[in-house]
Amino acid sequence: MILLCWPGLWVVQPSPSAGTSWSAVVSGHSVLVESKERNLQAAIGAYYDFESPNINVPSMSFVEDVTIGEGESIPPDTQFTKTWRIQNTGTEAWPPGVCLKYVGGDQFGHVNMVMVRSLEPQEMADVSVQMCSPSTAGMYQGQWRMCTATGLYYGDVIWVILSVEVGGLLGVTQQLSSFETEFNTQPHRKVEGNFNPFASPQKNRQPDENNLKDPGGSELGTISKNTWGPAPDQIEQDQNGLSQNSVNLSPSSHSNNLSVVTYSKVGALGEQENGVSTVLIPSDSLKTQTHKTGLSPGGATGLIPGLEPVLSTGMGSASPGLTTLPSGRLAWPDPALLPPPRDPDPRSWGCPESPSPPGTPEQPLPAFCLHYFDMLYPEDVAWATKGVGEASASGTQGGREEARKEPEQCPIIDSQGLGLGPEGDLQATLHLEEHSLEQVQSMVLGEVLKDIETACKLLNIAADPMDWSPGNVQKWILWTEHQYRLPQIGRSFQELSGKDLCAMSEEQFCQRSPACGDILHAHLDIWKSAAWMKEKAVPGDVRYCGGDSSWADSEVDSSCAGQPIHLWQFLKELLLKPHNYGRFIRWLNKDKGIFKIEDSAQVARLWGIRKNRPAMNYDKLSRSIRQYYKKGIIRKPDISQRLVYQFVHPV
DNA sequence: CACAAGGAATAGC
DNA sequence: GCTATTCCTTGTG
């Protein structure tokens, strides 16, 4: 099996040598695509539930804090109930199975999700979560967001802002809250009046960044509405255990031949507490689940058979021990912290105005964010593969049955009977999603092709691996290793041309690189498929073009094929792609040509890859930049700052 | 410690 | 010869 991670897209190819069967995982869901031809589009037949323009996204507005309003303080280590009032501001009732989920910041206890009933248009309801205040005084904040059963986040990001201090006033409001609870046996009663004198009227309050403090010292405390995605370091060093975006890429964890693997299910126990519906996720209850899936040969035109709209909590808060991501895992921006969809081009999500768009330290901003990727624990593989053989044998019928067969392992959260809704609704939803699937495929594919295009320009290599020289191969390997944080591959592929590489089997890849040969091979397969598609693509056919940039786009590329690139040209190339490299280098004043190297090590590494100089570092790179001083190409700006340079002749 | 500046030798084209 | 790389020293914050 190969497990391949593209930004936002996973592809699992169970039989690489045959090359006829692929499954793609997008947004945490998976489909299997039987492909008679070796065709990337078929490979990426994916069910994707992002905010397609064709899909109505529920609307939600935060109304007010019911308990723990602004200005209230709470004693340390104190249990309390946080209640928000929210409203369905859309024109349609919410779909069944929606929930409010913890998405970032401080979590205050173990509860990370609470079911919310389907609100009618304009209806308001209170949603409560049992929390526990931190043990040390200070200001804290956390973010929560509504989420559909299929993992689609919607509505305002709502905040918990806590002032923890000894002698806080919690007692008063909680007494009031408890008093109310006695008269409100419904977990989420309909609100008909503004009855709580402690409610704060502000909507979408901005926390005072100067006062917010994260106990772990992370920068999460400074998340604001203008900084939707956690910065790379924040993701990697998530002090809150919000690791639902992490995926273990270790091939050793995936050594079985799986037909299809999905990672979207958890074990969860719903329970009622003091009139508050809570979902507690024991960390040891996380499970993965296989779906038996299948689509018609060559076509990715159906929803996954057996895919149930299962509520996934992700796994983040359930795994408090996972505070850092070890090497080999990829982290992704949390889609929950992205703004509500407005721009149909998903590439623009997550980086609205931030000069430093969110992403992983190594990744350009993923165009498609995976919603829930639970870990596939090694010990779960045996369980996960159980039934896979049956899946292959029974084709497309088994998924739903499989889910029913093992309810203990994949409990479907259906608190208060709100789970799945009428079959008719589901069918309508499926129908709608089918329509968007093809569009989604195109977009996913476009993103893949664009990433390859970007890499080609950056590395100055051909798109078709068959055309690569041994030097190109080294560059590509270095690049892939860098881009996907693979273990050091070294020189085990030295002397090989692109043709040699293409002729190698996955086993041969693994022989040369036991740690990640399979992943590398899978990446090469994507490149080969993309080259095949490019060859087949009819000029003018925009189906495979991702938005504003086509494959043949001759976007500013200062390098000429075959010509050695100059460092200043390379820097300009990076600067011209802020979506990809804005975290590494960005303009401070484009008109004056002033730029700042934000991540010197990464820029140096990219330069080293480009020049096939693995030992490149910022010391050397900066020496090269300084060579430009006397040549009048680059200089230090008038007010010298560290890592800030200026093009003498800005474009 | 990271960065800045620049000298000197060397590599690669 | 030109450009970039590599290694080095010295200095700054």
Higher pLDDT, A211 or A450: A450
pLDDT tens-digit map of A577-596: 888 888 899 999 988 999 99
A415-to-A245, A277, A284, A419, A493 alpha-carbon distances in Å: 25, 8, 21, 7, 54
Q: Which residues touch strand C (CB under 7 A)?
A: A 564, 566-568, 607, 611, 613, 615-616, 619-621, 623-624, 627-628, 631
**Res A146 pLDDT > 70:** yes
Exposure b/e, A260-278, CB count within 10 A at least 16 = b: bbbbbbbbbebeeeebbbb
Q: Which two tokens stand for residue A150?
A: 């299929």
Confidence of residue A537 (pLDDT cuts 50, 70, 90): low
**Res A194 pLDDT > 50:** no
| Cα separation, A235 vs A220, whole angstroms | 9
Distance A600 CA to C11 C1' (A): 20
Looking at residue A309, what is its pLDDT?
29
Looking at residue A618, what is its pLDDT?
94
The answer to whether A564 CB sits below 7 Å from nucleic acid chain B is yes
DSSP H helices, A34-131, are: 40-43
Mean pLDDT within A74-85: 82
DSSP assignment of A365-428 equals PPSS--S------HHHHHHHHTTHHHHHHHTTSHHHHHHHH-TTTSPPP-GGG-SS--HHHHHH
Distance A642 CA to C11 C1' (A): 14
Higher pLDDT, A139 or A542: A139
Looking at residue A477, what is its pLDDT?
83
Count CB-CB contacts under 10 A for residue A252. 11
Distance A626 CA to C9 C1' (A): 16
Q: Which nucleotides of C are covered by protein (CB under 7 A)?
A: 3-8
Q: Which nucleotide does the CA of A597 lie closest to, via C1'?
A: B3
pLDDT tens-digit map of A395-413: 333 333 333 333 333 333 3
Looking at residue A447, what is its pLDDT?
66
Count CB-CB contacts under 10 A for residue A183. 8
CA neighbor of A474 nearest in space, from A459, A457, A455: A459
- The residues, any chain, with a CB within 8 Å of residue A165's CB and separated by 6 or more, are A73, A74, A75, A76, A137
The answer to whether A615 CB sits below 7 Å from nucleic acid chain B is no
**Res A564 pLDDT > 90:** no
Distance A350 CA to B10 C1' (A): 46
Query: Three-class SS of residue A532?
Result: helix
| Cα separation, A109 vs A614, whole angstroms | 45
Looking at residue A439, what is its pLDDT?
52
Task: Look at chain A and count its residues.
Answer: 651
Which one-letter amino acid corresponds to residue A220? L
Which window residues (430-459, chain A) lie with Cβ within 7 Å of strand B? none
Whose structure tokens read 């300084």? A626
- The residues, any chain, with a CB within 8 Å of residue A376's CB and separated by 6 or more, are A248, A253, A254, A261, A263, A288, A384
Q: Which two tokens stand for residue A388?
A: 């896979």
Confidence of residue A443 (pLDDT cuts 50, 70, 90): low
A424-to-A187, A420, A421, A429 alpha-carbon distances in Å: 27, 10, 8, 9
Confidence of residue A568 (pLDDT cuts 50, 70, 90): very high
| Cα separation, A99 vs A270, whole angstroms | 12
Residue A245 and residue A329 in contact, taking contact as beta carbons nearer than 8 Å? no
The answer to whether A642 CB sits below 7 Å from nucleic acid chain B is yes
Nearest protein residue by Cα to C1' of nucleotide C13: A642
Higher pLDDT, A268 or A155: A155
Q: Which nucleotides of B are covered by protein (CB under 7 A)?
A: 2-8, 13
pTM above 0.75, yes or no: no
Higher pLDDT, A301 or A25: A25
Higher pLDDT, A357 or A471: A471
Please state, for a pLDDT cut of 90, what percent of chain A lies above it.
8
**Res A5 pLDDT > 60:** no
Distance A479 CA to C7 C1' (A): 26
